[in-house]
Structure 1
Amino acid sequence: MSRIDDLVKQHAPEGVKFVEIADLFVTKNGYTPPRGDASAWTEGTVPWFRMDDIRENGQVLDDSIQHVAMTAVKGGRLFPANSIIVATSATIGEHALITVPHLANQRFTSLAIRPKYQDQVDIKFVFYYCFVLDEWCKKNTTVSSFASVDMAGFKKFRFPVPPLEVQREIVRVLDAFTELEAELEAELEARRVQYAHYRNQMLSFQESRHE
């Protein structure tokens, strides 16, 4: 942490500013085009993200499992590339960075950096800080037919906006840890396969043909 602390002292000697979600981001609710409208789901080209995309493909995504037609997009406006979708109902505590123009279903709220902050915020830093937001969301829910996040409180949640030098160093460090974790998981999976092979080999016996 000393490297980060030194950068903060150097570039933000008076401390790091915090900005509420409502001021930092344009927020939009996801939605599902009518299932009864066949044209909305035929030969779709617009990525439409659901929780299944995160579960199957991770949290940095450039395509979705399902797509919708451009004619099904409300007002013809997609959620912009390099924005975050945060689960604010049902399965709460998940988010993803989407690197292409897209839509998401109603379980998600989209966070797109406002123009006035575009040159002050690294979206990958936002992605990592959203793990903190996820924990806040899980602790601030209301329950009716299904759990949902307190959206009034959500919009007041405050993001730190340290200098870009600090953000980029944090991203560099966390990216390195993420890559290491992926390598370790791959190694662990290889060991599991190896273990299963030798286990099955050692426990494989031929039945005696002699009574």
Structure 2
Amino acid sequence: MSRIEELIQQLCPLGVEIFSLGELGIFENIGVDKKTNVGEKKVMLLNFMDVMRNKHIHKNILSMEVSASDSKIEKCDIKQHDLFITPTSETRDEIGFAAVAIEDISDSVYSYHVMRYRLNNKNAVTPYFIRYLFESDYLRIQIYRASKGLTRYGLSAKDFAKLTIPFPPLDIQEEIVKTLDLFTKLEAELEAELEARKTQYTYYRDALLSFEGKEVEWKTLGEIGEFTRGRRFVKTDILSQGVPCIHYGEMYTHYKIWAKEAKSFLAPDLAAKLRVAKKGDVVIVAAGETIEDIGQGVAWLGDEDVVIHDACFSFRHSLHPNYVSHFTQTDIFHSQIKRYISSGKISSINAAGLSKAKIPVPSFEEQERIASILDKFHVLINDISTGLPAEIQVRRKQYEYYRNRLLTFKELANG
């Protein structure tokens, strides 16, 4: 019998009470905007992505400076043991990500895109237990069912307050947190090792494609190929079957170096009005929220043409497609196109700017050799069916299984 099972037998053999989150604490989403106003105090802002990307919040995570009035700073402060939650998103799966403040963070506020949950009695419940519950099927199912919206989904503070959780004694909560922390640590160690390998791969790739000390001709992309911009379609046009298409957002979230199949599809009558990439073309993304996002390429290797979004170009050329795609990931390439990118809320680059970037052009056999080497490295660090990515997937599934099991309790019968 595990320590947790022993504690359950001792402290709550008949089951545990179920409480609404509103009974245990207060949800607030007053928040502060991403602005700096004259006459207001400068403070650091906890934003949506800070919560999405982290399990624990501390002062070193906050990187955005804004301003706020004294009353806003007081109302939107960050205290140790506060939970911060993502209340809205374009997809339901991103609602309800939670992170715990591990310290008081002075001169800081939370964004109005974030929900704060402050516990009434920190001696009765640990926020880390609740954070793990936000990952569990128990709460995820409730969040999914309670979310509202058309293009953007979300829950209000009142909606969050109605969600229910099992409420075992504090000793059991802490023991569960300790166990799940161990799983999290093991996964983090594997991810750190994978990140180290990715760094090695990036260094090796950039060194291999720099041709430093070697005689090789460099040509502009405009000399060796032609750019064609896609035409506009929107997410609501996307279907589960039809004509293959690539939406520019998927270039960041789904596609890597090459692709033979598309994730999304369009109706044939709409697709007939748009532009396509053909087999061997490299699809290059031309717009993004940051300059670093722009210019990533994906070699299209599918037998069927693929429709491309108007924030992408298809690059038709005579080089090895994977060689070109790998080159678009390098610092060498991005340092060249950076000067031609127009900055703004959405940064972008045009065909003329991309055409000026130079690429080393060795023999086709050498391009093929380099692409083959880099393809193998890429698979080792990205393919979830092999190596470290596969091990991380296995550990993650084990963790999810035990987390859901540990966070499932028999409900105490009324009366």
> What TM-score range do you get, normalising by the shorter chain?
0.7 to 0.9
Q: In 1, distance between residues paired with 2:52 and 2:5?
A: 34
Q: Please say if 1:48 is aligned against 2:45.
A: yes
What residue in structure 2 maps to residue 39 of structure 1? 39
Greater Cα radius of gyration, structure 1 or 2: 2
8 Å contact kept, 1:27–1:110? yes
Q: Please say if 1:81 is aligned against 2:84.
A: no
8 Å contact kept, 2:126–2:170? yes
Q: Report matched runs for 1:109-188 at 5 Å.
A: 109-114=115-120, 117-132=121-136, 133-134=139-140, 136-144=142-150, 146-149=152-155, 151-188=157-194
What residue in structure 2 maps to residue 13 of structure 1? 13
Three-state SS of the structure 2 residue aligned to 1:38 is coil
Three-state SS of the structure 1 residue aligned to 2:19 is strand
8 Å contact kept, 1:84–1:95? yes
8 Å contact kept, 2:34–2:111? no
8 Å contact kept, 1:18–1:160? yes
Q: 1:36 Cα shift?
A: 6.5
Three-state SS of the structure 1 residue aligned to 2:166 is strand
Q: In 2, distance between residues paired with 1:29 and 1:12?
A: 35
What residue in structure 1 maps to residue 263 of structure 2? none
Q: In 2, distance between residues paired with 1:172 and 1:143?
A: 37
Q: 1:74 Cα shift?
A: 2.9
Change (3 A) 1:192 1:109: closer
Residues 34-58 of structure 1, C-alpha deviation per residue, up to 9 Å, x if partnerless? Answer: 8372333x5x24x4211132356x2
8 Å contact kept, 2:28–2:157? no
Q: 1:66 Cα shift?
A: 2.3
Q: In 2, distance between residues paired with 1:74 and 1:201?
A: 50
Name structure 1 gaps, 5 residues minimum. Answer: none
Q: 1:157 Cα shift?
A: 1.0
Runs of 4+ aligned residues of structure 1 deviating over 6 Å after TM superposition are: 198-205
Q: 1:103 Cα shift?
A: 2.7
Q: Which moved more, 1:78-87 or 1:66-75?
A: 66-75
What residue in structure 2 maps to residue 192 of structure 1? 198
Q: Which has the higher contact order (CA 8 A, sep 6+)?
A: 1
Residues 70-100 of structure 1, C-alpha deviation per residue, up to 9 Å, x if partnerless? Answer: 6344383335321101111235232211232
Q: In 1, distance between residues paired with 2:67 and 2:57?
A: 19
| Aligned-partner residue type, residue 177 of structure 2 | V
Change (3 A) 1:37 1:178: same
8 Å contact kept, 1:142–1:150? no
Change (3 A) 1:9 1:107: same
Three-state SS of the structure 1 residue aligned to 2:69 is helix
Q: In 1, distance between residues paired with 2:79 and 2:202?
A: 45
Q: In 1, distance between residues paired with 2:166 and 2:84?
A: 18
| Aligned-partner residue type, residue 56 of structure 2 | V
| Aligned-partner residue type, residue 135 of structure 2 | F
Q: In 2, distance between residues paired with 1:69 and 1:35?
A: 6
Q: In 2, distance between residues paired with 1:68 and 1:199?
A: 39
Q: Please say if 1:26 is aligned against 2:22.
A: no
8 Å contact kept, 1:87–1:94? yes
TM-score when normalising by structure 2? 0.43
| Aligned-partner residue type, residue 80 of structure 2 | A
Q: In 1, distance between residues paired with 2:163 and 2:197?
A: 42
Q: In 2, distance between residues paired with 1:36 and 1:200?
A: 39
Three-state SS of the structure 2 residue aligned to 1:48 is strand
Change (3 A) 1:39 1:206: same
Three-state SS of the structure 2 residue aligned to 1:121 is coil
Q: 1:192 Cα shift?
A: 3.4
8 Å contact kept, 1:95–1:134? no
| Aligned-partner residue type, residue 81 of structure 2 | N
- How much is the aligned-residue C-alpha RMSD, in angstroms? 3.2
Q: In 2, distance between residues paired with 1:176 and 1:135?
A: 25
